[in-house]
Amino acid sequence: MEKQFEKYIVKTEKETFLIEEDLPEVGWYLHRVDQNGNTTHDYLQDSKLDAMEYALEIFQIPLNTWNLTK
C-alpha cells in the first residue's frame, strides 16, 4: 500500500498556503500560492512544525489555523 502523505492548508483573502509532507529524508514543503493558483514561493523545512512556525514568523499564519486536507 502506498504511503499517504499529509497536507495542510490555510486560505487567506489574497493567497493560499500549503504544507506538504515529502519523503522523510527530504522534509516538508511550505508553498505560497497566489489567487491565480500559481505557486510563488516554496520553502523546505525539516518538520511539519518547522514549516508551521516559519509560516507564523514570515506570513503571520497562526499555528491553530492549519487544516488537514487530502
Backbone φ and ψ for 2, nearest 5 degrees, come out as -75, 140
For residue range 32-42, what is the model confidence (pLDDT) as tens digits? 999 999 999 99
Task: Kindly report the pTM of this predicted structure.
Answer: 0.88
φ, ψ for residue 40, nearest 5 deg:
-95, -25
Residues 37-67: pLDDT tens digits?
999 999 999 999 999 999 999 999 999 999 9
**What residues does each domain of the chain span?**
12-62
Length, in residues, of the chain? 70
Give the list of residues 6+ apart from residue 13 with CB closer than 8 angstroms, or none.
Answer: none
CB 15 within 8 A of CB 33: yes
Instruction: Please tell me the distance from the alpha carbon of residue 10 to that of residue 25, in angstroms, as a whole number.
Output: 25
